């Protein structure tokens, strides 16, 4: 199954390369096409974020009720109330995770395809590629640890060493193909950035770090921060600045072509987030909306109900539960009034949210 997916994605990358005859340009087009294919998932996630933001006043009203009570039982009760409110409004917190879960295996597949140009662009057989890796690694070496970009690099540096596996036509094909990895200053995207060699490839780790920070900043700017997340170490400076730095470290051990993909993918991801926010802007929450939500929450008191029990005329076992007709009518009227007040507060809150959205769209 995965082999079929790899071949399909590899075919797409090959078409991008045939269009440009340069691996970096092919990766740019490839990144754009893949992001367009994933765009519907981005739309779903953005709509989910907008709905989450619109429910923020109601969530804050519930949290205010339990403010200062940090025992586990109270916190669990508060969480249940928030979940019930979200469920009533049609919001599922887990639905925003689905696009992320789908994108993760896609990223793994793309990474594997990009680092295997011999397999998916030149379409060399697995046996041929393994034979080339064996020459590089030696009889007892680990051929799985050798990337195909490294194989191309070794072939270009000493073609005669691989003449037992490749014929003249294949060697010429690889030589011509390697020209598509050319970079600034005579460098090649087949090489890895090296701190001991000062050249243009060293700019790639810097761009990786900058583009990763940009993508994170844009994502956080146009997202709804969950209550308490500002104190979460997963959203703190360590994650913000540390995770991109880990990617930078990896870039020194992989070919520069992978770095090119990482950079463009981060930039395109940031651009998509910005575009989706323009199409589906996240509503700004005002103090008035929060106050209305609090009033609506307070008005949601338990309504009393009237239960009619029919018994025999001589049965006096329920006499102490008898409610006069006037009393029953008062209870019904009170419930009706509470329902009307609750409906009016909800209507005002919706009007404020709509005005805020229109104002936000007009300003943008």
Residue 50's Cβ-side half-sphere holds a number of Cα atoms within 13 Å equal to 20
Mean pLDDT, residues 342-348 taken together: 68
Pairwise CA distance, residues 115 & 106, whole Å: 15
Pairwise CA distance, residues 128 & 140, whole Å: 18
Could you report the per-residue pLDDT of 213-229, keeping only the tens digit for each?
Answer: 998 888 888 776 555 44
> CA 28 from chain center: how many Å?
20
Identify the three-state secondary structure at position 364.
coil
Could you report the per-residue pLDDT of 151-172, keeping only the tens digit for each?
Answer: 998 999 888 899 899 999 999 9
Question: Which of these, 343, 350, 344, 338, lies nearest to 289 by C-alpha position?
Answer: 350
The tokens for 288 are 């008035």
The pLDDT-based confidence of 211 (bands split at 50, 70, 90) is very high
Interior CA angle at 310 toward 307 and 312, to 5°?
150
Q: Does residue 124 have a pLDDT over 70?
A: yes
Cα dihedral sign for 58, 64, 70, 73? negative
Q: What is the pLDDT at residue 305? A: 57
**Percentage of the chain modeled with pLDDT above 70:** 78
Identify the three-state secondary structure at position 315.
coil
Pairwise CA distance, residues 109 & 3, whole Å: 10
Identify the three-state secondary structure at position 102.
helix
Could you report the per-residue pLDDT of 12-55, keeping only the tens digit for each?
Answer: 988 999 899 898 899 889 889 988 888 888 888 888 888 888 88
Pairwise CA distance, residues 47 & 248, whole Å: 33
Could you report the per-residue pLDDT of 55-82, keeping only the tens digit for each?
Answer: 888 888 888 888 888 888 888 888 888 8
């Amino acid at each position: 199954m995965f082999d079929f997916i790899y071949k399909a994605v590899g075919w797409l990358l090959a078409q991008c390369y045939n269009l440009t005859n340069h691996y970096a340009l092919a990766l740019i087009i490839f990144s754009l096409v893949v992001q367009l294919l994933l765009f519907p998932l981005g739309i779903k996630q953005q709509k989910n974020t907008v709905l989450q933001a619109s429910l923020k006043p109601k969530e804050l009203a519930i949290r205010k009720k339990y403010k200062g009570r940090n025992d586990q039982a109270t916190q669990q009760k508060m969480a249940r109330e928030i979940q019930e409110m979200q469920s009533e409004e049609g919001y599922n917190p887990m639905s925003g995770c689905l696009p992320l879960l789908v994108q993760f295996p896609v990223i793994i597949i793309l990474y594997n395809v990009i680092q295997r140009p011999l397999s998916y662009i030149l379409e060399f057989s697995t046996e041929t590629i393994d034979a080339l890796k064996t020459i590089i690694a030696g009889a007892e070496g680990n051929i799985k640890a050798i990337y195909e970009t490294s194989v191309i690099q070794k072939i270009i540096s000493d073609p005669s060493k691989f003449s037992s596996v490749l014929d003249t036509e294949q060697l010429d094909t690889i030589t011509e193909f390697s020209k598509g990895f050319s970079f600034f200053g005579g460098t090649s995207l087949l090489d890895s950035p090296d701190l001991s060699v000062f050249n243009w490839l060293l700019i790639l780790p810097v761009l990786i770090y900058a583009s990763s920070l940009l993508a994170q900043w844009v994502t956080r700017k146009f997202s709804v921060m969950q209550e308490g997340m500002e104190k979460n170490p997963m959203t703190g400076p360590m994650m913000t600045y540390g995770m991109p730095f880990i990617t930078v470290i990896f870039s020194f051990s992989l070919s520069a072509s992978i770095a090119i993909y990482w950079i463009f993918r981060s930039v395109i991801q940031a651009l998509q987030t910005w575009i989706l926010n323009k199409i589906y802007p996240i509503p700004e929450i005002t103090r008035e909306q929060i106050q209305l939500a609090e009033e609506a929450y307070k008005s949601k008191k338990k309504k009393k109900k009237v239960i009619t029990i029919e018994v025999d005329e001589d049965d006096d076992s329920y006499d102490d539960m008898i409610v006069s007709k006037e009393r029953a009518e008062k209870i019904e009227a009170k419930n009706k009034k509470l329902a009307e007040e609750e409906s009016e507060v909800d209507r005002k809150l919706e009007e404020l949210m709509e005005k805020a959205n229109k104002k936000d769209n007009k300003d943008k």
